[in-house]
Amino acid sequence: MNDASRLMKMTMALAIAAGLSLSGSWAQSAEVRVDLSQPGKKVNPRQFGIFFEEINHAGEGGLYTDLIRNGSFTEAPTLDAWAPVKAGSAKVNLFFETEDPLNAVKPRSLRVEANSSNGERAGLSNEGYWGIAVQKGTSYQFAMYARSAGGFSGPLTVSLEGKDGSVYGQAQIADLKPQWNRVTATIKSSAADPAARLVIATTHSGTFWINVVTLRPEGELFRPDLLQKLKDLKPGFMRFPGGTYVQGNDRASSYRWKTTIGDLASRPGHYDAPWSYWSDDYMGFHEYLLLCEQLGAEPYYVAYAGMTWTPSSKSPFGVLQGHRINVSDYPMEEMGPIVQDALDAIEYANGPVDSKWGAVRAKAGHPAPFGMKYVEIGNEDGFNPLYLEKYKLIYNAIKAKYPDIQILANERRGGWGDLLPMDLVDEHMYAPPLGAINMGKQLDARDRKGPKALLAEYAVQKAAGLGNMRAALAEAVMLSGIERNSDVMPMASYAPLLANLHAINWRPDLIYFDNVSSYGTPSYYAQKMFADSRIENSVPVEVKASELKLRMDGGTSVKGVDAVAEVQDQKTTGTADNYTYTARIRKASGDGGVVIQFAKQDDGGSYLAWYLGVKNRANTLLVWGGGGDQNVPTYQLETSLSGPIAPDVHGAIETGRWYDVEIRVTGRNVVCLLDGKEIHHAQVPENLGSSVYGSAGRTAKGEVVIRLVNLSPQKQTASIDIAGATSSGKYSAVASSIMSRDLDAENSIADPTRIAPVEQKLAAVGAKFQYEMEGNSFTVLKLNPEQK
């Protein structure tokens, strides 16, 4: 080894030890030319919306406030969330019973046999969704249906209790009758507890049956903190209720809106098969419309198209293929009720009170129509050729009766050519950061003929963690691109919207919550920054900045991904552009795999990454339909910004076994070996595009909005030149920015605003001024023209 390479090796070893990387060359400035001399392109004022899907317990045990889980005993063949409660010598037996049911859709009730001769309590408890969160001073409305036998009339005591038995509040229910009756009580909690339980008990002996047990904070349909977070996004529209949730895995688990309206006791609920949990459907069609109303968002309903996802696979991703013929799909001759459902959904939302379904809506307390404009026919069914016929059938029926309804087709634009009539086409995109960044350019180049497109589901999904800064920056660039192309893509919404931290089906998501608290991801705040600076017109912007260059040297680290990983004998030999990294790795525990991050860039948040046996990282669905095996362990080689650079290879990492790993880097060539066997061989791109992106426009109030994304970890000074500035040429200016040195940075319950907009009033600026962009930042500059 010569001196130079020895020095190189030492430096690299130091970098590895310190978790740092070697320095690189980043440009320090950018030129941004904003052209205000022309009116610019109209932007749809309702362009950015939200997409609510019942996934990740978004509604059940989330936004919808009912705190009781399995209140109708339909969720599982077990007592799920319920448990017997008995003190001293008291006894209690709990049985499911189908005799003398509450009604046809609630066929199973719970028989409670309490035996208490000494006045000790006997009954049962419900733990809700990972505990029942109660607040001090809040009143809770309790309701259930009950009947009793043998003259037993109670009383029952219904209480909110802590795990240690502390009683926070209680109420008595007397007068149980032999016939089913709805009984209610109000319970005020004297304490706050994130994981309380509800107890229904008696101190007498007797038998009673219960069903449709509910508990919710008085007067609240939607959880206030989550509702506020949605309101703060000022959504232009709300797509609901799915997603794959609409399709289900078979007919029984598909979304049929008519079973989700009316009295709660008349809603059967259904199994949300794609996301593997029970849906009570208390957050039903009517509640979705109410939510839209509360948010000021246009309702956009996804109607079931008689096509389900997969009857056989646990994961929807295993079968995301074209030409799927699903045995659970409705054949054309059975499509009548499906078409009628779509028509009736529109009548329910919009029909006059003297129409059949308008009257049902009025009876539910909302005589005024909701004014629903958008209906999508199916979700992601468009890759199946059988969609064609079904779509046309539903389309024609809707257009004949409701010509003003805007109808959306699944598929990407051009996919169906002239075969289908449509008002808009719904494209979905789950992409690596660079895929999202490049989307704006692709939209700029789109031909302007054909239907407008809507990106009803998008997210940066590679190297995005649970939702990190990297994803937010890439999405900010993408949203700017969508904004300036409102003529071809007038609508877009992120997916998924909400996730209960106890039950994450999919990641990243936009807003996370536990029983008490919630936080928005950096992507959430990027969207909020757009919402707080909606522009009416977008104007041309030219940016000259340095390219993002990917270095091949830098530190290395090994981590578990949903697993605990161990590493031994790490060694890097060679020179900066020709080196070999070797190590022994072991997965000590966990369901996931291991990641080796190498060639870390200056910021430590960009890197090359070799994932070994990692699951739950959906493959790139660049313009949807790409598919991927979300639940299959795979080896994946990617750059944190551009995503995969070699084909994924299926394979797992066994727990407890040591593996030899080797990464050979020669120039931009990378070879990865596992136990001496070559797994990947890839060529790494050198340039990843511009380090700065800019867009601009005018708000309705005449403010000038300039959006700047600095993808470089270094500060960069933007020299901004506004052509066609106002007559005074002077503006008062406010900058709002999110930034982080660490691109992997995420918010959390403990640190909910680690990444959140920071606002700064700037000194007045002229038509030419400089603004220093922080490294890895997204900034919105709002310039208010000063009067002469």
List contacts with ligand AHR (CB under 6 A).
53, 55, 242-244, 379-380, 428, 457, 495-496, 506
Burial environment of residue 322 by CB neighbours within 10 A (0 to 12, 13 to 18, 19 or more): exposed
Burial environment of residue 404 by CB neighbours within 10 A (0 to 12, 13 to 18, 19 or more): exposed
- Taking the C-alpha atoms of residue 653 and residue 591, their distance in angstroms, rounded to an integer, is 9
Which of 446, 396, 385 lies closest to 421 in space, CA to CA?
396
Burial environment of residue 89 by CB neighbours within 10 A (0 to 12, 13 to 18, 19 or more): exposed
Report, in Å, the least distance between residue 191 CB and ligand AHR: 38
Nearer to ligand AHR, 493 or 740 (CB): 493
Report, in Å, the least distance between residue 624 CB and ligand AHR: 7
Report, in Å, the least distance between residue 436 CB and ligand AHR: 15
The DSSP code for 107 is -
For residues 338, 339, 341, 343, the Cα torsion angle rounded to the nearest 10 degrees is 170
Strand partners, 680: 672
Cα 456 off chain centre by: 12
- Taking the C-alpha atoms of residue 372 and residue 47, their distance in angstroms, rounded to an integer, is 16
- Taking the C-alpha atoms of residue 357 and residue 349, their distance in angstroms, rounded to an integer, is 8
- Taking the C-alpha atoms of residue 528 and residue 63, their distance in angstroms, rounded to an integer, is 19
Nearer to ligand AHR, 154 or 378 (CB): 378
Nearer to ligand AHR, 244 or 601 (CB): 244
Cβ atoms of residues 511 and 519 within 8 Å: yes
Report, in Å, the least distance between residue 69 CB and ligand AHR: 22
Bridge pairing between strands 491-494 and 48-51: parallel
Report, in Å, the least distance between residue 114 CB and ligand AHR: 44
Report, in Å, the least distance between residue 457 CB and ligand AHR: 5
Report, in Å, the least distance between residue 152 CB and ligand AHR: 47
Which of 621, 618, 596, 592 lies closest to 608 in space, CA to CA?
596
The DSSP code for 64 is B
Element (H, E) at 230: helix 224-232
Report, in Å, the least distance between residue 429 CB and ligand AHR: 10
* Cis omega (within 30 of 0) for bond into 508: yes
Residue type for position 508? P
Report, in Å, the least distance between residue 316 CB and ligand AHR: 6
Position closest to ligand AHR via CB: 243
Residues 6+ apart with CB under 8 A from 108: 72, 73, 74, 96, 97, 98, 101, 211
Nearer to ligand AHR, 440 or 496 (CB): 496
The DSSP code for 620 is P
- Taking the C-alpha atoms of residue 412 and residue 451, their distance in angstroms, rounded to an integer, is 10
- Taking the C-alpha atoms of residue 190 and residue 210, their distance in angstroms, rounded to an integer, is 26
- Taking the C-alpha atoms of residue 409 and residue 389, their distance in angstroms, rounded to an integer, is 12
Nearer to ligand AHR, 157 or 410 (CB): 410
Nearer to ligand AHR, 428 or 534 (CB): 428
Nearer to ligand AHR, 73 or 275 (CB): 275
Report, in Å, the least distance between residue 381 CB and ligand AHR: 10
Q: What are phi and psi of 718, to 5 degrees?
A: -95, 120
- Other beta carbons within 10 Å of 748: 13
Helices (H), 492-581: 522-531
Nearer to ligand AHR, 430 or 607 (CB): 430
- Taking the C-alpha atoms of residue 465 and residue 755, their distance in angstroms, rounded to an integer, is 14
Report, in Å, the least distance between residue 455 CB and ligand AHR: 12
Cα 646 off chain centre by: 27
Residues 6+ apart with CB under 8 A from 119: 203
Report, in Å, the least distance between residue 506 CB and ligand AHR: 5
Nearer to ligand AHR, 235 or 604 (CB): 235
Report, in Å, the least distance between residue 496 CB and ligand AHR: 5
Tokens representing residue 681 in the block? 């061989």
Nearer to ligand AHR, 233 or 773 (CB): 233
Residue type for position 168? Y
Considering only CA atoms, give the Rg of the chain: 29
Element (H, E) at 640: none
Nearer to ligand AHR, 102 or 474 (CB): 474
Nearer to ligand AHR, 154 or 496 (CB): 496
Report, in Å, the least distance between residue 131 CB and ligand AHR: 26
Report, in Å, the least distance between residue 767 CB and ligand AHR: 44
Nearer to ligand AHR, 509 or 703 (CB): 509
Nearer to ligand AHR, 298 or 457 (CB): 457
Nearer to ligand AHR, 154 or 432 (CB): 432
Report, in Å, the least distance between residue 315 CB and ligand AHR: 11
In angstroms, the Cα distances linking 43 to 239, 463, 531, 597 are 20, 31, 13, 41
Nearer to ligand AHR, 287 or 380 (CB): 380
Nearer to ligand AHR, 497 or 739 (CB): 497
Report, in Å, the least distance between residue 163 CB and ligand AHR: 35
- Taking the C-alpha atoms of residue 310 and residue 299, their distance in angstroms, rounded to an integer, is 28
Cβ atoms of residues 581 and 572 within 8 Å: yes
